[in-house]
């Protein structure tokens, strides 16, 4: 069968490679000149900057990237990072050790009253990570999904039942009355679950808070090397990945997708289409053929977060020696997080010579930001838009100085990115990134779109954001497409046997 994948983000490439491995003919169409989207690495004046994502989890045994590599027989260019990062609160810094024993000591030192929370969090994280190491098609969208879910359950999974309707703040109980502890949880959850402890689902949040212990990794040459590895694998195994091909329309007939058209005049017929885009972008691609449910969804949903980013070229000699590469800074815990009040800072590995000219390193700084003020200002008042960019740049650099004293002195190049930049380079409407807030297990989005042969993949579908998350989503979508193609083949075989056979002789 002909399968077309729109977009070469990590989610789209994962689904594409698995379907190619299963014997289908697969073409990936990517609008940009390189793969990876929010987890891409771009080249500028001798520097290779990570556009969004900088740290990747999911490479431990049973982790999504590891499982994908085992299926495809490929090797990822990664090495583990310990400590994962350091969180800087105004009155203390907390080192997120990957090593479990060092982490236990660290958390007892930083938050001695919170041990009961951490023990519950670890138990729930074990359950969540165990479930995610098997095929677990959540939310179920078909009887096949239900059967797979039942098969994936283990007696220990049921221990999570009392927490099905709890938030992380419920789990923390009295400990969350300590504002510093709550800020510590909130800052991490905002990144990993797109919301804070009062709203993050307990199971999802527990798994997210465990990320450093499950192991995070540097990707050699920049995080875009994950997507590049998949592109190389797809091309080496007979699939196609075409760059500079922005899909503008999905053609439908009798309620099914039949072809896609790109801005370069390419028209590809398709038996199945996988869209590595957000629901808003899919509705645009379908135009009048968008199913009513999808249209209702995009009208109903509140905008998700955007990101403001800084990309720095740095004189390595001016940076403080022997500090971890990744930091999170909260400037003022009494104010809402994001909007440069919480900043994540990632330096390229000191020994990664592919990222910057000799003697230099690069850094990506990011903060959550509401998308609409940026987009409105850009339209209405370009000077005010530039002034806002300058003000955010100042605030981000000031925050980063707290983790890396001397950083400003080291800056040789500084670029910034707003939601408008993300909209342009990743084609995500309004520059909305990171997927939906993970508030309840019972209102998450699955891959179904309302058209029987079109599926969404990427961080809009459960389990949401991160390279590991979209890899799990990509595996799920590949399995759904395989069920669909098997059903279609059975149907065709049945129809063929029912056709009147020409008489011989």
Ligand X SMILES: Cc1cc2nc3c(=O)[nH]c(=O)nc-3n(C[C@H](O)[C@H](O)[C@H](O)COP(=O)(O)OP(=O)(O)OC[C@H]3O[C@@H](n4cnc5c(N)ncnc54)[C@H](O)[C@@H]3O)c2cc1C
Q: Pattern of binders to ligand X over 321-340, x per CB under 6 A? A: --------------------
Residue pair 337/196 in contact by the 8 Å Cβ criterion: yes
Element (H or E) spanning 124, and its range?
A: helix 115-132
What are the residues whose beta carbons fall under 8 Å from the beta carbon of 148, sequence distance 6 or more? 135, 136, 137
Candidates 27, 276, 304, 430; binder of ligand X (CB under 6 A) is 276
Provide, rounded to whole angstroms, the least separation between the CB of residue 429 and ligand X. Answer: 9
Q: What is the residue whose two structure tokens read 């221990």?
A: 159
Does 365 interact with ligand X (rule: CB under 6 A)? no
Question: For residues 288-307, which are near ligand X according to CB under 6 A?
Answer: 307
Residue (of 157, 162, 83) closest to 126 by Cα position: 157
Candidates 15, 257, 470, 477; binder of ligand X (CB under 6 A) is 470
Provide, rounded to whole angstroms, the least separation between the CB of residue 388 and ligand X. Answer: 18
Half-sphere exposure of 145 (CA within 13 A, CB side): 14
Provide, rounded to whole angstroms, the least separation between the CB of residue 172 and ligand X. Answer: 24
Bridge partners (DSSP) of residue 345 are 327, 365
Bridge partners (DSSP) of residue 360 are 315
Cα–Cα dist 258/251, whole Å:
6
Does 277 interact with ligand X (rule: CB under 6 A)? yes
Candidates 17, 27, 54, 188; binder of ligand X (CB under 6 A) is 54
The residue among 424 and 442 lying less far from ligand X, judged by its C-beta, is: 424
What are the residues whose beta carbons fall under 8 Å from the beta carbon of 266, sequence distance 6 or more? 29, 242, 245
Number of residues engaging ligand X in binding (CB under 6 A): 38
Provide, rounded to whole angstroms, the least separation between the CB of residue 305 and ligand X. Answer: 9
The residue among 58 and 313 lying less far from ligand X, judged by its C-beta, is: 58
Provide, rounded to whole angstroms, the least separation between the CB of residue 6 and ligand X. Answer: 5
Backbone angles phi, psi at 112, to 5 degrees: -60, -25
Q: Cite the beta strand spans of 7-146 per DSSP E.
A: 25-29, 41-44, 47-50, 56-57, 78-81, 85-89, 92-96
Residue (of 80, 42, 399) closest to 211 by Cα position: 80
Provide, rounded to whole angstroms, the least separation between the CB of residue 28 and ligand X. Answer: 9
Provide, rounded to whole angstroms, the least separation between the CB of residue 337 and ligand X. Answer: 14
Does 55 interact with ligand X (rule: CB under 6 A)? yes
Does 347 interact with ligand X (rule: CB under 6 A)? no
Provide, rounded to whole angstroms, the least separation between the CB of residue 223 and ligand X. Answer: 7
Residues of the chain by 3-state class (helix, strand, coil), percent to 5: 45, 20, 35
Provide, rounded to whole angstroms, the least separation between the CB of residue 208 and ligand X. Answer: 11
Query: What is the pairing mode between strands 85-89 and 326-330?
Result: parallel
126: tokens are 């074990």
The residue among 407 and 433 lying less far from ligand X, judged by its C-beta, is: 433
Provide, rounded to whole angstroms, the least separation between the CB of residue 70 and ligand X. Answer: 20
Question: For residues 242-271, which are near ligand X according to CB under 6 A?
Answer: 246-247
The stretch among 33-41, 87-95, 148-156, 478-486 that binds ligand X (CB under 6 A) is 33-41
Cα–Cα dist 446/434, whole Å:
15
Candidates 118, 458, 475, 480; binder of ligand X (CB under 6 A) is 458
> DSSP letter at 345?
E
The residue among 156 and 372 lying less far from ligand X, judged by its C-beta, is: 372
The stretch among 276-284, 317-325, 371-379, 485-493 that binds ligand X (CB under 6 A) is 276-284
Cα–Cα dist 66/177, whole Å:
38
* Angle in degrees, 0-180, between the axes of helices 224-236 and 10-21, rounded to the nearest 10: 20
Residue pair 477/22 in contact by the 8 Å Cβ criterion: no
The residue among 52 and 291 lying less far from ligand X, judged by its C-beta, is: 52
DSSP assignment string, 223-255 = THHHHHHHHHHHHHTT-EEESS--EEEEEEETT
Q: Pattern of binders to ligand X over 395-434, x per CB under 6 A? A: -------------------------------xxx----xx
Does 32 interact with ligand X (rule: CB under 6 A)? yes
401: tokens are 């100085």
Does 7 interact with ligand X (rule: CB under 6 A)? yes
Does 314 interact with ligand X (rule: CB under 6 A)? no
Residue pair 223/39 in contact by the 8 Å Cβ criterion: yes
The residue among 291 and 435 lying less far from ligand X, judged by its C-beta, is: 435
What is the binding site for ligand X (CB under 6 A)? 6-12, 29-32, 37-39, 52-56, 246-247, 276-277, 281, 307, 309, 366, 426-428, 433-434, 458-459, 465-467, 470
């Amino acid at each position: 069968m002909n399968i077309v994948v729109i977009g070469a983000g990590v989610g789209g490439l994962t689904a594409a490679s698995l379907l190619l491995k299963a014997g289908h003919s697969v073409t990936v169409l990517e609008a940009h000149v390189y793969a990876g989207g929010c987890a891409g690495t771009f080249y500028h004046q001798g520097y290779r900057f990570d556009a969004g994502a900088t740290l990747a989890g999911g490479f431990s045994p049973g982790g999504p990237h590891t499982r994908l590599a085992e299926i495809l027989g490929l090797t990822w260019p990664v090495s583990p990072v310990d400590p994962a990062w350091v969180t800087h609160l105004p009155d203390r810094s907390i080192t997120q050790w990957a090593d479990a024993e060092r982490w236990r000591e660290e958390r007892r030192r930083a938050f001695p009253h919170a041990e009961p929370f951490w023990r519950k969090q670890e138990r729930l994280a074990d359950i969540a990570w165990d479930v995610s190491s098997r095929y677990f098609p959540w939310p179920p969208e078909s009887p096949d999904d239900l059967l797979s879910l039942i098969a994936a359950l283990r007696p220990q999974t049921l221990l999570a039942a009392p927490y099905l309707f709890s938030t992380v703040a419920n789990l923390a109980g009295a400990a969350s009355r300590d504002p510093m502890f709550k800020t510590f949880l909130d800052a991490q959850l905002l990144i990993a679950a797109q919301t804070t402890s009062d709203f993050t689902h307990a199971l999802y949040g527990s798994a997210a808070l465990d990320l450093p212990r499950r192991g995070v990794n540097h990707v050699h040459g920049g995080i875009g090397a994950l997507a590049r590895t998949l592109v190389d694998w797809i091309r080496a195994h007979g699939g196609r990945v075409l760059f500079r091909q922005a899909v503008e329309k999905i053609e439908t007939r009798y309620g099914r997708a039949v072809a896609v058209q790109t801005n370069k005049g390419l028209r590809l017929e398709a038996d199945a289409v996988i869209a590595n885009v957000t629901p808003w972008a899919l509705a645009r691609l379908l135009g009048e053929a968008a199913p009513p449910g999808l249209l209702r969804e995009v009208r109903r949903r509140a905008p998700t977060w955007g990101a403001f980013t800084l990309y720095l070229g740095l004189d390595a000699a001016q940076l403080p020696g022997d500090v971890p590469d990744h930091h999170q800074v909260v400037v003022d815990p009494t104010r809402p997080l994001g909007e440069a009040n919480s900043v994540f800072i990632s330096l390229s590995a000191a020994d990664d010579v592919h990222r910057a000219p000799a003697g230099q390193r690069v850094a990506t700084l990011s903060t959550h930001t509401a998308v609409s003020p940026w987009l409105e200002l850009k339209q209405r008042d370009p000077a005010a838009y530039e002034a806002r960019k300058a003000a955010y740049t100042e605030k981000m650099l000031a925050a980063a100085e707290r983790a890396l004293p001397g950083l400003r002195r080291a800056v040789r190049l500084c670029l910034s990115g707003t939601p408008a930049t993300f909209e342009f380079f990743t084609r995500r409407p309004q520059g909305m990134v990171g997927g939906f807030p993970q508030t309840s297990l019972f209102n998450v989005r699955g891959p179904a779109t309302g058209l029987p042969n079109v599926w969404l993949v990427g961080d809009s579908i459960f389990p949401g954001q991160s390279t590991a998350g979209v890899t799990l989503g990509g595996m799920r979508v590949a399995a759904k497409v395989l069920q669909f193609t098997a059903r279609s083949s059975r149907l065709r075989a049945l129809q063929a046997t029912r056709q009147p056979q020409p008489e011989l002789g």
